[in-house]
Amino acid sequence: MTRTDTRSPAARDTTTREICAQIDRLVDARSARVAAHGPHFAELWELAVRRLQGGKLLRPRLVMGAFDTLASGTTAAPRAAALEIAAALEILHFSFLLHDDVIDEDLVRRGEPNLVGCLVAGKMPGNTIAAPPADGSGDTTNRTLHWARSSGLLVGDLMLTIAHQIIARLHLPEHARTRVLDLLEAAVTETVAGEYCDVGLADGAFVPDLSLVLDMTRMKTASYTFELPLRIAAVISEAPPAAEIQLGEVGRHLGLAFQLQDDLLSAFSPSDSHGKDQFSDFREGKETALIAYARMTNAWPSVEQLLGAEGFSDDSGRRIQRLLTECGAREFIETLVQDQIRTALQVLTRDDCAVPQATSRFILGLVDSLDGRRA
């Protein structure tokens, strides 16, 4: 099946095209089975698949870039398996995004309606879903929202299942397949723990402090976004164990830097640059590291009054921006981002570094190209 490619032309290098083709193959192999469960479900699937294909492919590109540089020169390296893993990690990421949007009650992602938003707006192909009434009247709108969010949850379950199914079927030697499964399970467990901490902080179930918030930030993103792709690439390219461990370290530091940078962008950039509602983190009262730092300063009483408050306005958002800048939270987090990147570089330039220079160069190039936007 040919689909409109919504990615920017610049990003479509050879590897990216291979990743996209692999995702398409894995999705298409499942479309007939999905369609067998009736037209409603087939439409939901098509809508979801279009959203799956809108990402920047950060995790798959990390897998392939690391794999190609690590396996360079070896003959029997299982590149087909690497591509399948790369696709599986994008599908895993998509399932996390879907559940994240359900939890956050978001209707927008990457600057356009997310799956829930599309369903609510009645944008289903074939137009079989009744749109909520234009006057936004209560009960029907609530039921439509409930149905759309439940659908997001269910599609997320299906995508999580497919990601695992792909990994479970890899044609790899038994020891490598088991190691990949270990890494996948550890990463999902850590991500779930981080999300649980995130929602507990946002809803006031846990007492916030900077150390807990930084742990949460690391857990919910760093592990599956950077550490998992880099370590899997090391395992299947049969890199030395030291290289896998060092790539894991690098991944954790870069992953934390990436998520903190994302928090900075959410807080300080206009909406169209990071693809979410402007001020959505402030509106939802998200406990980011910026906020956790501000708690320890004199600015806190003023921030607290505005954050997640009833009647939150763009003006509230701009006032929080000013307060976070004046109290030093912004600078503190910016410095932390730089520290994490520097530490990652130190690992890659140590005397005992087992990571090949080509792999280090690839990682550094990718870091330079990342602007921390939600990918």
For a copy of itself, the binding residues (CB under 8 A) are 30, 33-34, 37-38, 40-41, 44, 95, 99, 102-103, 128-130, 140, 143-144, 146-147, 150-151, 153-158, 160-162, 164-165, 167-169, 178, 181, 184-186, 188-190, 192-197, 199-200, 202-206, 212, 215, 219
Instruction: Give the nearest distance from C-beta 149 to a copy of itself in angstroms.
Output: 9
Instruction: Give the nearest distance from C-beta 284 to a copy of itself in angstroms.
Output: 10
Phi, psi (deg, nearest 5) at residue 352: -90, 15
Q: Which is nearer to a copy of itself, 199 or 323 (CB)?
A: 199
Instruction: Give the nearest distance from C-beta 305 to a copy of itself in angstroms.
Output: 15
Q: Which is nearer to a copy of itself, 202 or 233 (CB)?
A: 202
Q: Which is nearer to a copy of itself, 41 or 268 (CB)?
A: 41
Q: Which is nearer to a copy of itself, 47 or 348 (CB)?
A: 47
Identify the three-state secondary structure at position 112. Answer: strand
350 in Cβ contact with 357 (< 8 Å): no
**How far apart, in whole angstroms, are the C-alpha atoms of residue 167 and residue 32?**
21
Q: Report residue 12 as tokens.
A: 């479509």
Q: Which is nearer to a copy of itself, 186 or 375 (CB)?
A: 186
Q: What is the residue whose two structure tokens read 């006032």?
A: 319
93 in Cβ contact with 55 (< 8 Å): yes
**How far apart, in whole angstroms, are the C-alpha atoms of residue 273 and residue 325?**
20
Residues with Cβ < 8 Å from 22, sequence gap 6 or more?
Answer: 83, 84, 86, 87
Instruction: Give the nearest distance from C-beta 233 to a copy of itself in angstroms.
Output: 20
Instruction: Give the nearest distance from C-beta 191 to a copy of itself in angstroms.
Output: 9
**How far apart, in whole angstroms, are the C-alpha atoms of residue 363 and residue 252?**
13
Q: Which is nearer to a copy of itself, 21 or 205 (CB)?
A: 205
Partnered with residue 109 across adjacent β-strands are 112
Identify the three-state secondary structure at position 5. Answer: coil
Instruction: Give the nearest distance from C-beta 38 to a copy of itself in angstroms.
Output: 7
Q: Report residue 37 as tokens.
A: 């469960």
333 in Cβ contact with 341 (< 8 Å): no
Instruction: Give the nearest distance from C-beta 250 to a copy of itself in angstroms.
Output: 20
Q: Which is nearer to a copy of itself, 85 or 341 (CB)?
A: 85
